[in-house]
Amino acid sequence: MKRLILIDICAALLVLLFLYTSIMKISDYHNFLDQLEHSPQLHPYAGLISWVVPVAEIAITILLIIPRTKLIGLLLAFVMMLGFTFYVFYVLNYAHEVPCACGGVLSGMSWQNHLIFNLIYTGIALLGILLSQNILMRKRSGKAENL
């Protein structure tokens, strides 16, 4: 039972993050697109990314809310957070003065703080996956009665 609650907490934190960031990106779309266009690495794909990322965040949010698709949502959230984290790491180490294409409160973070924030949320997604996998393995082996 405790594991299920922890999985739900992980999913809820990711839902809040992805819902918030997608809404911010959509509500301030022109600024989001402008920031993507000023990124040397993302500029060629700015138009595509400006729609794919918020739509993917909303889709992941929906998957995380539905109990039957929660594990898929956790896996996709992990992959997305890993991608965001690698991008921030790249910017910190190799890029010069790239604007943050995040919305709201997150856009005010330093790149170092953003990296830490992303690592934490990547860890949250990974924790949810590992706990879910553990439950699935216990169910398959018939030891799920004390969850």
Q: Structurally, how many domains does the chain consist of?
A: 1
Q: For residues 22 and 90, give the distance between their C-alpha atoms in angstroms, rounded to a whole number.
A: 22
The residue segments making up the domain with residue 113 are 2-146
Q: List, for residues 95-147, the tens digit of each pLDDT value.
A: 877 767 676 677 788 889 999 999 999 999 999 999 998 777 777 776 654 44
Per-residue tokens: 104: 């709201």
User: Of 55, 56, 61, which Cα lies nearest the Cα of 74?
Assistant: 61
Q: What is the pTM of this model?
A: 0.88
What is the helix (H) or strand (E) element at residue 47, kind and residue range? helix 46-65
Strands (E), 6-134: none
Please check whether residue 24 is in contact with residue 102, taking contact to mean a CB–CB distance below 8 angstroms.
yes
